[in-house]
Amino acid sequence: MLTISVPATSANLGPGFDSIGLALDMQLTLTVLGPSATWQVDHPYGSHVPHDARNLMIKTALSLVPNLTPQHVQVTSEIPLARGLGSSSTAIVAGLVLANELAGAPFTKQELLLKATESEGHPDNVAPAILGGLVVATYADKQVQAVQLPTPTWSASVYVPNEELLTSASREALPSQLAYGEAIAASSIANTLVAALATKKWDLVKPLLEQDRFHETYRWNLVPALGTIRQTAHALGLVGTYLSGAGPTIVTLGAQADLVKLQQKLQQNPALTGQYHLLPIDAAGVKVHKS
């Protein structure tokens, strides 16, 4: 039996727009039950998500290896759809790894990363899903360059609102361009964040996570919980809250004991009716188990 497990990802990390991602220990698991006359996908997402070859995982697998023998696969997932935790990226990665394993593993991780980025459009979610931990990546000239940085020892407080926020809608809130001076300021913050992450200057990392100028300002009204959670964290002396991906999920990074206190405080707020998770960072990335 073949089992593939792909972690959720939290992208952007504030100013690291479309380039920085973190793998979190919340998994999508795909299990191959055996050959089938046609592709059959058992999953928990309901009838609006295809159960056959039209499923994103299977479409992605067939885009890599078109002549795969159809299989009966079972998918379980803790990752909510359209919430900013990389649900589409995990599906893409699972499909690519499924094809690679069924074909005898002819593709390297770098080749899978390139294919995943081409499918997703940018590497900030797919790179940590494949490689694990904290990854800074770029996609230019049809090539992906990904650099793994030291994995922080923090945990992640994850607040998932009940309402979906589609990436397309979140993207529409962004400006088509930034003024030159604003772009320089935004870039300098992002560059400093990467340098702080690379050199483990964690006390510098946390405030930089909250200084984004690329996207959070423009999405602020779409995710009112961001300001509430950041303000609550500050009242507890905690810094390091950001909008995960395109939202609406909100992540705060820090020591687990501090994040427990933060969640206890947030749960007293009747306006925050979503789901809470306290997750470790997943340092391994996609995992394959054969039995």
Whether 98 has a binding-site annotation, put simply, is no
Whether 54 has a binding-site annotation, put simply, is no
Structure tokens at 111: 């080749």
Whether 156 has a binding-site annotation, put simply, is no
Whether 80 has a binding-site annotation, put simply, is yes
Structure tokens at 253: 């990074």
Question: Please, what is the end-to-end C-alpha distance for the chain in angstroms?
Answer: 5
Q: Is 78 helix (H, G, I), strand (E, B) or coil?
A: coil
| CA dist., res. 256 & res. 56, Å (int) | 35
Q: In sequence order, what DSSP letters do the residues of 176-224 get, joined into one string?
A: S---HHHHHHHHHHHHHHHHHHHTT-HHHHHHHTT---SSHHHHGGG-T
| CA dist., res. 137 & res. 285, Å (int) | 15
Q: Give the DSSP letter of residue 147.
A: E
Whether 81 has a binding-site annotation, put simply, is yes
Whether 219 has a binding-site annotation, put simply, is no
Whether 2 has a binding-site annotation, put simply, is no
Whether 283 has a binding-site annotation, put simply, is no
Whether 181 has a binding-site annotation, put simply, is no
| CA dist., res. 127 & res. 69, Å (int) | 27
Long-range contacts, stretch 252-261, CB < 8 angstroms, 24+ apart: 252/156, 252/157, 253/152, 253/154, 253/155, 253/156, 253/157, 253/206, 253/209, 254/154, 254/155, 254/157, 254/206, 255/154, 255/155, 256/155, 259/155, 259/156, 259/157, 261/236
Q: Give the DSSP letter of residue 59.
A: H
Burial 101-122 (b: 16+ CB within 10 A, else e): bbeeeebeeeebbbbbbebbeb
Whether 82 has a binding-site annotation, put simply, is yes
Whether 5 has a binding-site annotation, put simply, is no
Amino acid at 101: E
**Residue found by looking up tokens 């999405």 in the block:** 219
Q: Residues forming the annotated binding site?
A: 80-90
Binding residue positions for ATP: 80-90
